[in-house]
């Protein structure tokens, strides 16, 4: 009986730990996402950049006022995502589709490389927030090679208000 109880307790703990999600909020801009692993914030070059990382992934978000962003990308976030991926030198770029929780958000997937040449999957998001007159660009880099982590993170983006 003790073995059955112990097995059940370990099984429940394993299921709970596998399903754990970490919610990351950028309060200043009312934006959040969920990560399958715990990520830690790191110092960025400005208040307009929000960066988190772990050994297996990195998520960076930058916010731009409308007036500083290309008008064709405001009108077409899909074009914006493809363009940003090109500027960043990503390869094998493919349409990911619309974000399920944000009306004017779109993403693409592709691959990038570290300085040492290691190739890893990545996703680029462009979100146009017409109400607040901001555009967000986000990158999700998966150093563990698991693009499904990037897609889960991308699909979890939402506004907090």
DSSP for the chain, written as a single string: -HHHHHHHHHHHHHHHHHH--EEEEEGGGTEEEEESS--EEE--SSTTEEEEE-SSEEEEEEEEEGGGS-HHHHH-HHHHHHHHHHHTT-EEEEEEEE-SS-TTEEEEEEEEE-TT--EEEEEEEEEEETTTTEEEEEEEEETTS-HHHHHHHHHH-EE--
pLDDT of residue 40: 79
Confidence of residue 140 (pLDDT cuts 50, 70, 90): very high
Domain segments of the chain: what residues? Answer: 22-159
Confidence of residue 50 (pLDDT cuts 50, 70, 90): confident
22-159 falls under which CATH superfamily?
Mog1/PsbP, alpha/beta/alpha sandwich (3.40.1000.10)
Is 43 or 82 the better-scoring residue by pLDDT?
82
Residue 153 has pLDDT above 50, yes or no: yes
**Mean pLDDT, all residues of the chain:** 86
For 85-125, how does the pLDDT look when each residue is reduced to its tens digit (9 = 90+)?
A: 999 999 999 999 999 999 999 999 999 998 888 999 999 99
């Amino acid at each position: 009986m003790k073995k059955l109880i112990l097995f059940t307790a370990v099984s429940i703990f394993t299921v709970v730990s596998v399903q754990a999600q970490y919610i990351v909020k950028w309060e200043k801009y009312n934006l959040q996402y969920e990560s399958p692993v715990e990520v830690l914030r790191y110092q960025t070059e400005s208040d307009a950049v929000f960066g988190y990382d772990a050994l297996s992934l990195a998520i960076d978000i930058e916010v731009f006022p409308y007036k500083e962003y290309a008008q064709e990308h405001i009108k077409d976030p899909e074009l914006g995502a493809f363009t940003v991926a090109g500027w960043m030198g990503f390869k094998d770029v493919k349409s990911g589709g619309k974000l399920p929780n944000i009306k004017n958000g779109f993403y693409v997937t592709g691959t990038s490389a570290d300085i040492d040449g290691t190739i890893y999957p990545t996703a680029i998001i462009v979100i146009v927030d017409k109400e607040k007159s901001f555009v967000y660009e986000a990158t999700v880099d998966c150093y563990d090679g698991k693009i499904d982590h990037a897609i889960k993170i991308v699909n979890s983006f939402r506004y907090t208000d």
